[in-house]
Structure 1
């Protein structure tokens, strides 16, 4: 028997929740569908647990789930998500696959199957307050103090100097804001970005995970130093996830942040934003001998293998990924995944840096595709947290974490 209620596991985030409801209502109206829907917004940890760890997608508890690309390999291996290839062969989504940048199609392609369609994207980038950077008085004062022109930082040294310069707690303005809440994601991503911009890698020459390297030591040393630098960093950082850090920036509390592109565009479209029209994005700073990098982790629409409504679920996915739906998600504060949205004139009028998505994708790296990556991510997360809370040398932390990683592998 078909479920009397259609259930969707949603990544908890205001713009996702409102966009999903609008898309579902429009879908039902267009195709005269009367099935009830239950959308359950969840934080990252709960979402992973409910859909994958506890087998919710497999058991049929969920028809559709938002899933990020960190988890998709794991989910496919656990037979939790449906291979969409047969559905696509019968009735492909609108201009599939040409409508999307290649970097949004390959992580869900596993051993010849396609396990999801792009939902929300936006690589990591440096988001900054252009009104502060372009202010004549600020420029003059900065040059007097540091001897060079104020501009978005090209190196980590400049990043730190600029963050210190703009750190004004008495004005409720801080140099930068980090997301240091230990949820197995934010600090892991930060660690990877800092490692890559120092010329390091998570993998050795044999393509095996190895974080016991000099580049990783330099990374952890710098990260624990910068994050704890009270003369540069928002004091709420320790408790912020990426959403809270993004909201603090939108609230005008920081001059810079390293976060997902989506949090920049959110500044232009959400009612609460105090920095509309004052924001821009650029590539990440790098260390001597390194080069800029970005991280591409994106969200997918997936169908549960246990769903009894697979045809309806796929019809909704096709509807939710049209050019029109993709634009609607963007106007709500999410990030559309289609090239048409990136280049859309109206969108670029509202979010003047939207077209930069294409160039950010050119420097975007991805995390290793291994089924145990979520477990490894937790180890890296704990390692970074320990670095922030103790004085244990970075070399020891990395050596011990590498031993634990090898046990999992």
Structure 2
């Protein structure tokens, strides 16, 4: 019997939400086709959908793709341009229901290649119960001479991380996601770069990471990650999900991670920090402004799907205000402004309304077909930085040479 196939980003809230949405959708529309939903880790999801041409050859009807890949997917003609569907039958309150920063990355050459599904830019997540504790505040001031508050610059970040690092209590100053999957360390490097006023692009719009801000960014990052007196010892094995769970289990005072992992602390059963968490903008160089990174997830339809109309009808259903709210209560991050401002959601997750602020400072990665390969090179560079003592300058020079070959 024919099945409707969905490639899913492996993450419990995504899987549970999708199953609930599909069941309701079928019930409401009297649809009997069975859905097969296969969850994949990041790298395998890319391989199954784009590298192995799964979306193009009809193997997948719908896939979760993130915006790092959408340029590549559209270029490869792997995903369907939804323009004609949207014109004929737009999603609820489209496009005004979403912040502009969630609508432009899937717009490529006048086509629209997906609908926003899950988001939450990078931010500083911290334990407000620790930061607000009078005894902690007193001890911190004695030691460092200033009031304990969420760090505004990277030096404060290091000091606060070392202050809260208490391995004997299974509490660490900060937790990072240093598993080399082509994503987390690349994002961390970009954030370090941007918050120091640096850029990934030169004046000719070409990728160039061989400059002073990049040296400062990589230097700081390799030092902090290897600081045993400040950082969770398992950071090198953690992807963003594992780092998020460690934070939710009360093992760290601070994390730099996706907003979704802050909200997860309020809704998942494993959380030991419900009601004890808050978020803030990222620390930054005193002469430059803060930054965030916006990479979001899309619902996309395979160009080879035999069920394109059904797939689009489901996408419209899965992106309504009600469905968006469901994703949020399950532990994902709804993309609609209505969810950000929802009273119930803000009771459950008191900092949810701050999403708008994060989007105001959110930058995006360069849209170029070579980005996935550039990301791999940056990932390898950061890994070498934290695992060897090759100089930062040399690592940046070598990586830039390799990037240049891709650009020529």
TM-score, length-normalised on structure 1?
0.99
2:63 is the counterpart of 1:57: no
Query: C-alpha offsets along residues 309-364 of structure 1, whole Å, 9 cap, x if unaligned?
Result: 00000000000000000000000000000000000000000000000000110000
| Alignment map for 1:10-409 (pairs within 5 Å) | 10-409=8-407
How far does residue 372 in structure 1 lie from its aligned partner after superposition?
A: 1.1
How far does residue 13 in structure 1 lie from its aligned partner after superposition?
A: 0.5
User: Hey, what's the Cα distance between the residues in 1 that align with 2:281 and 2:385?
Assistant: 26
Query: C-alpha offsets along residues 86-109 of structure 1, whole Å, 9 cap, x if unaligned?
Result: 000110000000000000000000
User: Hey, what's the Cα distance between the residues in 2 that align with 1:328 and 1:250?
Assistant: 21
Query: C-alpha offsets along residues 164-206 of structure 1, whole Å, 9 cap, x if unaligned?
Result: 0000000000000000000000000000000000110000111
What is the aligned length? 407
Q: SS at 1:307's partner residue? A: coil
User: Hey, what's the Cα distance between the residues in 2 that align with 1:391 and 1:169?
Assistant: 26
User: Hey, what's the Cα distance between the residues in 2 that align with 1:29 and 1:356?
Assistant: 36
How far does residue 289 in structure 1 lie from its aligned partner after superposition?
A: 2.3
User: Hey, what's the Cα distance between the residues in 1 that align with 2:262 and 2:70?
Assistant: 26
How far does residue 408 in structure 1 lie from its aligned partner after superposition?
A: 1.2
User: Hey, what's the Cα distance between the residues in 1 that align with 2:82 and 2:159?
Assistant: 49
Instruction: State the Cα RMSD in Å.
Output: 0.6
Q: SS at 1:16's partner residue? A: helix
Query: C-alpha offsets along residues 260-292 of structure 1, whole Å, 9 cap, x if unaligned?
Result: 000000000001100000000000001242221
User: Hey, what's the Cα distance between the residues in 1 that align with 2:285 and 2:245?
Assistant: 28
Runs of 4+ in 1 over 6 A off after TM superposition: none
- Structure 1 stretches of 5 or more lacking a match? none
User: Hey, what's the Cα distance between the residues in 2 that align with 1:376 and 1:295?
Assistant: 17
- Structure 2 stretches of 5 or more lacking a match? none
Q: SS at 1:137's partner residue? A: helix
TM-score, length-normalised on structure 2?
0.99
Q: SS at 1:374's partner residue? A: helix
Q: SS at 1:58's partner residue? A: coil
Q: SS at 2:21's partner residue? A: helix
